[in-house]
Amino acid sequence: MRRDGRGGGTGLAAVTAFVCAVGMSAVPGRAQAAPTDPAPGAEGARDAAAAGGGGLYEVHRKVESLYRKAEAATDAYNLAREKQVRQEKRIVKIAQAVVKAQNRMTDLRERAGAVARAQYRSGGIPPEAQLLLGDDPEGFLDDVTLARKGQQATVGLMNQLEKTQATLDRYAKAASREWERLDSSRAKKAAARKEIRAKLRRARELESRLRAEERERLRQLEEEQQRRAQTTWLNSGILRKIGGKGTTQGRRAVEFATAQLGKDYVWGAEGPDTYDCSGLTQRAWAAGGRSIPRTSQEQWRLLPKVGVERMRPGDLIIYFKDASHVGMYVGNGAIIHAPRPGRQVTVAGAGSMPILGVVRPQGG
């Protein structure tokens, strides 16, 4: 399988072959045989010894659980990082507004100072006395009226700007506090992800102690679990209800995802050579002409939701209760997704994992 991102034809052929196989597995009496489960006895004892006492089933359960926890933590970390970027931009805008207000305030204070200096030069004589002592009462009254209007205008503008300055100061302080909270949250998420990665390393070390044939049987266990879930999903008759046609944008997104088949999964990767699950769907929809959130949790939270029965190619299926995984529906009961570390972007059954719901980046 090509892995340079240009293997669209090969990828589409793989999709077609997979869909045919999935369709056959759902037909009564024609289901494909499952790999033989590990039997107890000497071989089972070897499995248990190699897997640290838990056997292949336990290794499979532990590894899958750790991968899902790491995926959820990575999504949370990416979301915190995106929030911090938005907060930084917000703080810059606030700072610019504060500078602008300060410049206006400086200008008004200079004008107020000029008025004060003029009053000083006049000796600070009250207007009533100037009226009695002056040679031109009418001209003086005109000057007093203009001066008072100018003073009132200056005081009004200064009061307005002082209120604006106070508001901006409070806003800037609040933004700074929020930035600090987000920075702290990001650090906590990074620490959590580091801890989970350490657990994943231990799990991979556990897998590495298995013999080659045992690792292959472990992979078969994973695939068999997915096949059973997919068969159950298909046997519900769901495909008879799903028949939506993909849009032009949706087809472009599917074509992009198909061209990525065979590329490695890497935590936090957004292409072009490696991807995580939501990095793949985000880039695919960018190729389709639509900007969508970076993480599967945000894709689930912010994109329009549709019923599974209304699903069409290009829609995103969100998996697990914590929305920690996402795949792109490509039609005929199949998805393209980036599964987990140690795996590549691949085709899988849309029902091979617990479905939380479906979102439609394009809406409608």
Annotated catalytic residue within 69, 193, 252, 337: 337
The predicted structure's pLDDT at residue 151: 57
Q: Is the pLDDT of residue 3 over 70?
A: no
Q: What angle do CA 22, 26, 31 make, to 5 degrees?
A: 90
Q: Say whether 325 is catalytic.
A: yes
Q: Is the pLDDT of residue 333 over 50?
A: yes
Q: Say whether 60 is catalytic.
A: no
Q: How confident is the model at residue 150 (pLDDT cuts 50, 70, 90)?
A: low
Q: Is the pLDDT of residue 97 over 60?
A: yes
User: What is the 3 state secondary structure string of 4-51?
Assistant: CCCCHHHHHHHHHHHHHHHHHHCCCCCCCCCCCCCCCCHHHHHHHHHC
Using CA atoms, how far apart are residues 16 and 334, in angstroms rounded to an integer? 9
The predicted structure's pLDDT at residue 251: 94
Write out the DSSP string of 266-319. -TT-BSSS-B-HHHHHHHHHHHTT----SSHHHHHHHSPEE-GGG--TT-EEEE
Annotated catalytic residue within 48, 259, 277, 338: 277
Q: What pLDDT digit, counting tens, does each position of 302-315 carry?
A: 999 999 999 999 99
Predicted TM-score (pTM) of this structure: 0.64
Q: 92-103 burial by CB neighbour count: b if 16+ within 10 A, else e?
A: eebeebbeebee
Q: What pLDDT digit, counting tens, does each position of 123-144 carry?
A: 555 555 555 545 555 555 555 5
Structure tokens at 35: 């790999």
132 HSE (CA, 13 A, CB side) = 4
Annotated catalytic residue within 62, 325, 340, 360: 325
Q: Is the pLDDT of residue 26 over 60?
A: no
Cβ–Cβ < 8 Å for 227, 35:
no
